Structure 1
Amino acid sequence: MSCEARGNPPPILSWFINGTEVDPEDDARHSLVDGNLIISNASETADYGKYQCRATNGLGTAVSRDALLQFAYLGAFSAKTRGGVSVREGQGVVLMCTPPPHSPEIIYSWVFNKFPSFVAEDSRRFISQQTGNLYISKAQPSDVGSYICLVKNSVTNARVLSPPTPLTLKTDGVMGEYEPKIEVHFPPSVLAAKGLTVRLECFALGNPVPTITWRKINGNIPKKARLRKSQAVLEIPSAQLDDSGTYECKAENPRGGTAFKGHLQVYTLPQWTRLINDTQLDSGETLRWECKAAGRPRPTYHWLLNGSPLMIQGRVEVVNGELSIRDVMQSDSGMYTCVAENKYGTVYSNAELRVLASPPVFIPNPVRVIATLGKDVSLACKPRASPKPRVTWRRADSRRLQQSNRIMLLRDNTLRIVNSSRADEGHYVCLAVNTFGSAEMTAMLWVKEPMRVDLSPGRLEVTVGESVVLSCKATHDTSLDVGFQWSFNQRPINFQKDGGHLEYIQTVRAQQSSTVDLMIRSILLKHAGKYGCRAHTSADVVFAEAELLVRGPPGPPGVVIVEEITDSTATLSWSRGLDNHSPISTYNLQARSPFSLGWQTLRTDPEPVTGTMESAMAVDLNPWVEYEFRVVASNAIGTGDPSAPSRGVRTKEAVPAVAPANVSGGNGRRHELVISWEVRRSPGFTRDGLLVLLLMRSLYLQ
């Protein structure tokens, strides 16, 4: 049996059988290996029972849940010869199995005459898995023979056979019809664990063979329930609490009927809904632990301290499973166990209570604090102590500090000074006292002039490709060291990942000031934004920000839409893109088709297309050609990226603009003249035209 426990110091594990500690020296069959209990040559007589593991160290004892050790076995039937059974034809009969000793449950079946011919259950024959008996509601000549009860252990699968029981029919007549008599029924009160399968048996003798029906009093039989073995067994899989109730089986035949009622009670083992957790308290505080468990019947609770029953008296109270201990002391420390149990099971919840008791100790001591003139300053006093100490503050050169609107003691014992001045400089002493002792902590306070930071220039406009320098100057107390950090749009700048555009220029220190520069080389549009300089000393943090505007070529215009199309024109519209701090001066309309080499600039109406326009007409297009269009913006800095292409559209059809050339005639047969010409196409014109053939009648001259 395995047992694991964690603790510091590592716990020592021990085992108990039925409440008695296992001692390997007293019984060589028992051994402990890494906390695991090993039983050699286990026997039911010596080892059957409840086992529990306990873990102990210097801080307490925790206990495990109980484990029940059982032994599976199957004895042999008595070898005594069984007497025969004789009944009239039509009469009911019961053949007794009388099983041998066994554990746990066994499975019953009956052999008819010789193995492996088994009795098949039907509406007339039934084998009870509760008693093992074979019931025949109405005997008939085919039932005559020898019957053997076979039992099988559900764990070991061992099987044994009983001596045979002969069944014969009497010759003094046939049994007449009679009303049913229930010979097999479930107990009047059935207990079943939640989640298990419940089987209710009901079988009757009678002539004619009775019919079995089931119902639930004041309710419906669960939909998941199923009837087995010709209605003789009602099976309820995964029983739930609402399956509890009174069930009735009824046996009927033409001669009458009878019924049996029994109550099913589904119970649940205790299950935790609220556990206790490790708790650390100062001496003198109050412990409150509540553990809750669900179960039916409702669980009851009791408490253990280090594996033994907790004494409920004086400071210790337990109400409805809730444990409270007033004015805890070190002797209350240990491992507590809440035990929830009902008649069907027990669960355990363990937690450690650690009660602290120590005099005040300050780490570190003394404390140095640098404040800024005119700002608020806080002096913390956080001793390690249990119970919590009383705290007072005083100046090292004077009596106890008196609280005022400017000097106050906060709830966490922090001394707060509002609008600090040079007069506040000096040594402050915090005194902490509890029942176990006292300790002092000295805080040395210096008040310095506030730091000022100047970032110049504050606002700057540059053109793409130029370089600029931002200078950050901090004026501060000469006794303090200053550090700087640059940020871009509120994010720290990583100078290694910027591709060489940004350079941090080392700090230049003067008597009362420090200066650091940021150089931005070959500026791109993405460098536009807000640059911040954060200067910090041990007393102060100051932030300044500058804005950099970058002028550059316009961004791409928005989506291009073809509003109207003719055979030679297209009306286009678009939305403005970014001007990048330089007004857009003109727009350039471009198109491409299967007959062009890339994008070609178009003639427009009006011409030029100014930067204030968002619509224009492209002219001199070729008819019956598919075009894509795009727009490019320009400003004083240059020409930007083009817009995304429009969807493809085809211009309308048109009459050919060029006449055929090189018309000639001749040859041909008699009465015919062949005329030929060359087709000249307009640029991009691809649609087939109509060919007109002139057939001329030959002229005969006399």
Structure 2
Amino acid sequence: MLLLGLFSHLLSSGKFWTTRRTNASQHIDIRFVFVIFFLLKWSHAQGSHPPRIVEHPIDTTVPRHEPATLNCKAEGSPTPTIQWFKDGVPLKILPGSHRITLPAGGLFFLKNDEPSASLKIFSADKDGLELEVKGAAPTVLRDEFRLEPQNTRIAQGDTALLECAAPRGIPEPAVSWKKGGQKLDLDSTKRIRIVDGGNLAIQDARQSDEGQYQCIAKNPVGVRESVLATLKVHVKPFIIRGPHDQTVLEGSSVTFPCRVGGDPMPDVLWLRTASGGNMPLDRVSVLEDRSLRLERVTIADEGEYSCEADNVVGAISAMGTLTVFAPPKFIQRPISKSIELGADTSFECRASGNPRPTLFWTIKNNRTIVFPGAPPLDRFQSINTEEGHSILTLTNFQRTDRDLVVVCNAMNEVATITARAQLTLDSQEDRPPPIIIAGPVNQTLPVKSLATLQCKAIGLPNPTISWYRDGIPVHPNAKVNITAAGDLIISDLDRKEDQGLYTCVASSRTGKSTWSGYLRIEVPTNPNIKFYRAPEQTKCPNAPGQPTILNASANALTIV
């Protein structure tokens, strides 16, 4: 009756069990749901005792292929027989099996390959009574992390993410993190937190966050630790003192600074945007402090120069513009002129420089300023072309304009320069007549030969050369020729037609000059005649001290 009461009590407790199987890759939970004691041929004789379990099996987790033992002891009168079940099915112990039943009733696994097991309902039968022992819920924790943290580099101020996917386990393992072997206190800061079930997010990373981090997974089975991952917090490059816009004079030197910081210390590269990025390598150098220095700068060096700094976490650049000033320099100066009354004339001037010089004219005598593009001022007008030429025009030259001085002015931010020219009156009374510097000489030549009579003259304006024989003009014909230089050439000499006094006349509006020479023609067989031919010009030296007139005015004469 005592046993029936115990059985009734178990049924009335309302406990029902179901079976669930869970496979694990590395660790196996060996759960034998209950131990049933079959009381075979139970006697209700006086003095007998019902079976009682004195040592219960406990949940055990062991690595796969490792030995394991489930203990179980029972007492009663008569001595109970212990039978093991797995998932409600009687467990067969075969000879040579890796399962061995111990004398006290325990179960020994020489090599554990068992999956986990859980509960199933059993009831008493007519031959005996079943007692069952319920184990705890199955637990497991694998060895391998699904994802382990990696060494990470990050810029200061950015968010670092150390990824971690804990090993699978039952129950699901809790994830925490260590830094430098010490558990991270995530409650004391809002910058560092665990996201997505295991990843460690560090916002606004600082260099104090550097170190070795480790992901920790823990459940009732045990603790798993990931590999160590090193977090390195670098500082992006920053400009302490960068290049700035500079204006220098041509031929001077200039230095563009570039002082930078960062961790690791950034590399510095200088670039130029103008001229296809080409630097004047023979005049440029990078100093120890990474500044860029240019020597003997030219206009061609103008442009933008940029300093670029970069390291493993970022890059930054700064730029400065170089402007090179050059003083004005005349490319073309105005030329002094001599013109006639009533004539028009012009003067031209051109200059270079940077900035491009402004050109304007002044009339020294009356202190008049003539600006380009302005309306005509007292017969003067100035225009500037796109090519940088400035042209001053004077109309209707008058006698009061005599010895007028015009001044071309070139001005920019660096300097102002001037160039002068004089305007003189060109009249007949103001100029000397032409000067014959080489005229015909007396010659005695044989009949049928060739005669050359030279005549060279200078003067302003250029004189015109004409020839006369015995006062009668000589005109070119089949045997007579007058060269462009003014020489007279006569071929096939005839005594009657060609002998005589030849006169060279050099004339212009300023006057005229003459030079004569006698040409005598004789028969070659006459022994009493001594022939003489004028020497060739190339064999004659220049006359010493003979001046050449370049310019003349009422008060001065320019000669060389």
TM interval, short-chain normalised: 0.3 to 0.5
Structure of larger gyration radius: 2
The answer to which structure has the higher strand fraction is 1
